[in-house]
Amino acid sequence: MVQRFGSITRPYLTFGLHLGWTISGAIGSDSKIDACYLSPNLQVAQRMEELTSLYEMQIILSEPLYNYLSLKARNTLRKIDVILLNTYVNKGLQTQMEPMGIYTFDMSFTNAEVSTLPEEHQVGDLIKLNKYVNINIENFKNKGVDYMFTLDGDIVGLQQHI
């Protein structure tokens, strides 16, 4: 993007994240098929994304997703509000208002430690902080992703100056 639009151009992506069930299926004809997803949870996820502009945050997570995360991941998040959402009761048309916490991942874009990528680097590979360069991460990979919140330069760097 820098090559095409210049160094002052910065993409601004927002993410509204929620955890819940959905039913997926295919709709279409012999020549075109589209994926279709049905669930009240889709509306909650859409609402989370809409709230990113209201709260001026790039990432907003719902409380059900927050509760599903590991303790290490939760420690990187900040609760910003409790909202009331319409939810369906007894699988009928009746709704009720339920409180739900919303969380954000604060980010700083003034990361002082810039890593140089090795030639064999693949997209998705861990970029270790300089102080952990000698640690073999293969030992951590089968134990979940908690190690990334300590060792990965990208994740740690996003919250370095906060």
- For 69-121, the pLDDT digits (tens) are 988 889 889 999 999 987 665 556 667 788 999 999 987 766 544 455 667 76
Question: Do 92 and 16 belong together in one domain?
Answer: yes
Cβ atoms of 1 and 11 within 8 Å: the answer is yes
Range of the domain at 118: 108-162
Mean model confidence pLDDT for the chain: 80
Question: Do 61 and 17 belong together in one domain?
Answer: yes
Question: Do 9 and 75 belong together in one domain?
Answer: yes
Question: Do 71 and 88 belong together in one domain?
Answer: yes
pLDDT of residue 102: 96
Question: Do 68 and 114 belong together in one domain?
Answer: no
pLDDT of residue 118: 64
The SS3 call for residue 131 is helix
Question: Do 92 and 17 belong together in one domain?
Answer: yes
Q: How many domains does the chain have?
A: 2
Q: Measured between alpha carbons, how far is 36 from 33 in angstroms, rounded to an integer?
A: 9
Residue 135 or residue 110, greater confidence: 135
pTM of the model: 0.71
Question: Do 137 and 151 belong together in one domain?
Answer: yes
Tokens 């906060």 belong to residue: 162
Residue 61 or residue 113, greater confidence: 61
Question: Do 73 and 127 belong together in one domain?
Answer: no
